[in-house]
Amino acid sequence: GDSVTQMEGPVTLSEEAFLTINCTYTATGYPSLFWYVQYPGEGLQLLLKATKADDKGSNKGFEATYRKETTSFHLEKGSVQVSDSAVYFCALKNTGFQKLVFGTGTRLLVSP
Amino acid sequence: ETGVTQTPRHLVMGMTNKKSLKCEQHLGHNAMYWYKQSAKKPLELMFVYNFKEQTENNSVPSRFSPECPNSSHLFLHLHTLQPEDSALYLCASSQEAEPLHFGNGTRLTVT
């Protein structure tokens, strides 16, 4: 079945450092890919998405490019802030299905 | 305001209790979902409702009983739970192929 693999956390960075959180997927067909973010005490919020190969999703300084050849959707940000501390989830949704398949989440901790 | 409201935010219940979780969405979506979030595990899809009809039950034990009286409201009725059912229960809604919108969850502790 479809699956998503994320790097283990926590990822600990200093403010203004460069961020990469790796995500790879296994799926049949042509899934849409998503990054969700969960701040402490809250539910998940959609951060960005990409619906086809080579699409780049971006939001709030975060970017991720849908790479079909490497089945990856890595999340990047050039300069993180303390307020970016949260848990980040990579997810996919296959065509014709409503089910979102999530990775285990990666906790990001940014210190001043 | 996420557009999806869950109550209560926290719930502590004994294994013999019966309680219900409530979810309400104000987004006009036609699909609603229950997910379970446990520590160090991927989010687990429990149930999906489309236009009030259940379209997916992901092998969830019968001690969890969903109810969807209309497209805006979703309940999860709980009875004779086990300690391993302690988790964050997330409700979400969506419209057709659009991304899911999540509520802030109910933190459930079973004692």
Give per-residue pLDDT as tens, A16-31.
999 999 999 999 888 9
Number of C-beta neighbours around residue B18 at 10 A: 12
pLDDT at B1: 52
Closest CA to B20 of B30, B34, B32: B34
Q: Chain B closest CA to A17's CA: distance in Å?
A: 26
B43 touches chain A (CB under 8 A): yes
- Candidates B94, B99, B104; nearest CB to A43: B104
E-strand ranges in chain B read 4-7, 10-13, 18-25, 31-37, 44-50, 53-57, 64-70, 73-79, 87-94, 101-102, 106-110
Q: How far apart are CA A73 and CA A70, in angstroms?
A: 9
B90 touches chain A (CB under 8 A): yes
A6: alpha, beta or left? (left if phi > 0; alpha if psi -120 to 50): beta
B10 touches chain A (CB under 8 A): no
Q: How far apart are CA B73 and CA B107, in angstroms?
A: 19
pLDDT by position in tens, chain B (length 111): 559 999 999 999 998 889 999 999 999 999 999 999 998 788 899 999 988 788 877 789 999 999 999 989 999 999 999 999 999 999 999 987 788 899 999 999 999
Task: Kindly determine whether residue A44 and residue B90, on different chains, have CB atoms separated by under 8 Å.
Answer: yes
Top pLDDT among A84 and A2 is at A84
